[in-house]
Amino acid sequence: MKKHWKGIVIWILVILVAADFGGAYYLFNFAFKSGSGYSARNNDRPLTKDERWAQKAPQQVWQQVTQDKDHLHLKARYYPAAHKTDKTMLVAHGYGDNSLTLGSYIKMFHQAGYNVLAPDDRGSGRSGGHYLGFGWQDRNDMQQWVRQILCKNGNQTQIGLFGVSMGAATVMYYLGLQVPHQVKFVVADCGYASIKGELDHELKALFNLPSFPLVATANLYTKMLAHYDFYQADTAKTLKHNKLPLFIIHGTKDTFVPTKNARINYRNTHGPKKLWLVKGATHAQSYETQPEQYRHKVLAWAQKYFAK
């Protein structure tokens, strides 16, 4: 009888482990694989007016190869200012998006007189890669883009960083690296504090499932296939020693990246900082909700920290 029950317990454990690994593999592909799951939501929608502007405006194609084991070929759109300037905005797009989806922000900064560099992250737009970096791998790619700006525009150039959603996480994770002194300030719009925290939230919101053990097992697939450990990605670590000015923006009705992330990120940073919670704005819709205030506040922040 004991042997019989022991066999049943073993089979139950085997089934549970198989369910965990199968579910985690589904979660990994749903969240991290380029062009699948939620990241595919924008694949077939038409371009907006500002996105068409960003597509047709005079621009150059910049390229780089990632310095990790994947050696991915990445591309970016560079928009030279109408009048020569030493000020360049490096803008980072969101999850499942690409450089063109930043059209409104590219246009805003370009019309303010700045050069703008808008990369396609790994696994996005015209760049190579099968998996999304969730901001963690992208922070290293951002360092290469910063170096390319300095190489092409000269060491006297000044750089501002701007990101939306995953792009906001990217710029905040980037601040944990050795940031060149030419980077003067950062704007982070609706970024999550940690990848694990965001996955925990989405697993509950989309599938009504607890995070353990699926998220932990999904991290094993991320290590094996995407080559990074998303448990390391947390602004509590990357903003711990930050002294750069950081402007955090978040919508009060954001259910994709809950608004509490803004307060966490604001608490985690230690340089000059500002928090703007946009009343009624959903995820990545603060600009559309308050366009005039958004332009005024963001450009005032840039003007304040770009040297005259």
DSSP structure class, residue 255: T
What total number of domains does the chain contain? 2
Residue 94 maps to a domain: yes
| Pick from 59, 64, 31: nearest CA to 145 | 64
- Asked if residue 297 is part of any domain, the answer here is yes
pLDDT of 207 reads: 86
Model pLDDT for residues 80-95, shown as the tens digit of each residue: 999 999 999 999 999 9
- What pLDDT shows up at residue 18? 54
Same domain, 61 and 148: yes
Same domain, 153 and 201: no
The alpha helices in 57-165, defined as continuous H runs, are 103-111, 136-153
Q: What backbone phi and psi angles, to 5 degrees, belong to 33?
A: -75, 130
DSSP letter (8 states) at residue 267? H
pLDDT at 115: 98
Q: Which two three-digit tokens encode residue 66?
A: 């990632």
Identity (one letter) of the amino acid at 52?
A: R
Q: For residue 97, report the phi and psi dihedrals to the nearest 5 degrees.
A: -110, -165
Whether residues 149 and 181 share a domain: the answer is yes
Are 169 and 211 in the same domain?
Answer: no
Question: What is the C-alpha to C-alpha distance for residues 77 and 79, in angstroms, rounded to an integer?
Answer: 7
- Asked if the structure places residue 208 within a domain, the reply is yes
Say what the pTM is: 0.93
What domain range is 170 assigned to?
49-194+233-305
What is the structure's pLDDT at 210? Answer: 85
Tokens of 2: 């004991």
Q: What is the pLDDT of residue 43?
A: 61
The dihedral over CA atoms of 200, 202, 207, 208, expressed in degrees to the nearest 10, equals: 60
**Is residue 37 included in any domain, yes or no?**
no
pLDDT computed for residue 13 by the predictor = 45
Question: For residue 90, what are the β-bridge partners?
Answer: 117, 161
Same domain, 12 and 148: no
Looking at 206, 229, 252, the residue that finishes a domain is 229
Please state, in angstroms and rounded to a whole number, the distance separating the CA atoms of residues 281 and 285. 6
In a domain, 39, yes or no: no
What is the reported pLDDT for 39? 54
- CB-CB contact of 270 with 239 (8 Å): yes
For residues 84 and 177, state if they share a domain: yes
Distance in angstroms (rounded) separating the CA atoms of residues 275 and 114:
24
Spatial distance between the Cα atoms of 90 and 180, rounded to a whole number of angstroms: 14
* Same-domain status, 119 and 73: yes
3-class secondary-structure state, position 46? coil
**Residue 93 located in a structural domain:** yes
Same domain for 87 and 200, yes or no, is no
- Sheet arrangement for strand 273-278: 60-65, 73-79, 115-119, 87-92, 158-164, 183-189, 246-251, 273-278
Query: For the chain, which residues score pLDDT lower than 50?
Result: 9, 11-14, 16-17
Question: Are 104 and 242 found together in one domain?
Answer: yes
Q: How many C-beta atoms lie closer than 10 Å to residue 46's C-beta?
A: 6
- Both 125 and 204 in one domain: the answer is no
Residue 41 inside a domain? The answer is: no
Instruction: Say whether both 56 and 134 belong to one domain.
Output: yes
Question: What is the reported pLDDT for 24?
Answer: 80
Residue 103 lies in a domain: yes
Contact assessment for residue 92 and residue 161, using Cβ atoms and an 8 Å cutoff: yes
Residue 85 belongs to a domain with what CATH number?
3.40.50.1820
Locate the DSSP E strands across the chain: 60-65, 73-79, 87-92, 115-119, 158-164, 183-189, 246-251, 273-278
Q: Tell me which of 204, 229, 254 is where a domain ends.
A: 229
Same domain, 144 and 202: no
Predicted pLDDT at 212: 84
C-alpha to C-alpha distances, 153 to 87, 101, 117, 131, 156, nearest whole angstrom: 9, 25, 12, 31, 8
- Per-residue pLDDT of 121-139, as tens digits, reads 999 999 999 999 999 999 9
